[in-house]
Amino acid sequence: MDTFLEILKMYGIQLSAIGAAISFIFGVYKFQSERRAAHYWKEFEVYHELVKNLVGPEKEGDKLYLVPFLKIKYRFCHSRESGNPLKIRDLCKASIIKSYITFLETALDRQAAIIFELRNFKRYYPYTLRMLKGLKIVWDAQPGQYPRLNEELSLTIQFIEKNKKEQGQN
């Protein structure tokens, strides 16, 4: 007991510094691990929200969302009253058509931005690549329909494939 007290008298300052350092290091480690876990779950939520906004339905119970350019022809080529086909120039003048097309262009831009943002989620590269290749097949089946989306899909697929190779992921 006497030797312990003498050691404490001789090295008390050093032992206090070591104890404080250990406490500080443990606090930093705990902070970093909690921060990493919070970041992990935040990234999970953001990624899945982006995927939902990219391919999910607009409302509960709807089919999967694909920008519906083909519906313009179906919906607006016949007037409701007479059933007569509208002329192309009438189509271009109709304000409802212009607002619908504006909505579709906005939806396209939103989807293109989401596709671009998916590049930031390295942890999800394998799934993102499979999903984007699948979407590209579906959207390519309608030639000339989604040129901006297809371009962004191709660029993002190339980006992810290149970065997967650099990171050594399969």
Residue of 148 and 80 predicted with greater confidence: 148
Of 125, 135, 119, the C-alpha closest to 56 is 135
- Residue 6 burial (CB count, 10 A): 10
What's the CA gap between 125 and 135, in Å, rounded?
Answer: 15
- For residues 140 and 142, give the distance between their C-alpha atoms in angstroms, rounded to a whole number: 5
How are the residues of the chain apportioned to helix, strand and coil, as percentages rounded to the nearest 5? 80, 0, 20
Per-residue pLDDT at 147 exceeds 60? yes
32-47 confidence digits (pLDDT tens)? 999 999 999 999 999 9
Average pLDDT, rounded, for the chain: 77
Length of the chain: 170
Using an 8 Å Cβ cutoff, are 86 and 79 in contact? Answer: yes
Q: According to the model, what pLDDT value does residue 52 have? A: 86
Rounded to an integer, what distance in angstroms lies between the CA atom of residue 78 and that of residue 71? Answer: 12
Per-residue pLDDT at 75:
43
Q: Residue 135: is it exposed, middle or buried by C-beta count within 10 angstroms (0-12/13-18/19+)?
A: buried
Average pLDDT over residues 18-44: 95
Q: Is the pTM of this model over 0.75?
A: no
Whole-angstrom distance, CA of residue 66 vs CA of residue 146: 10
Give tens-digit pLDDT for 83-94. Answer: 555 454 454 455
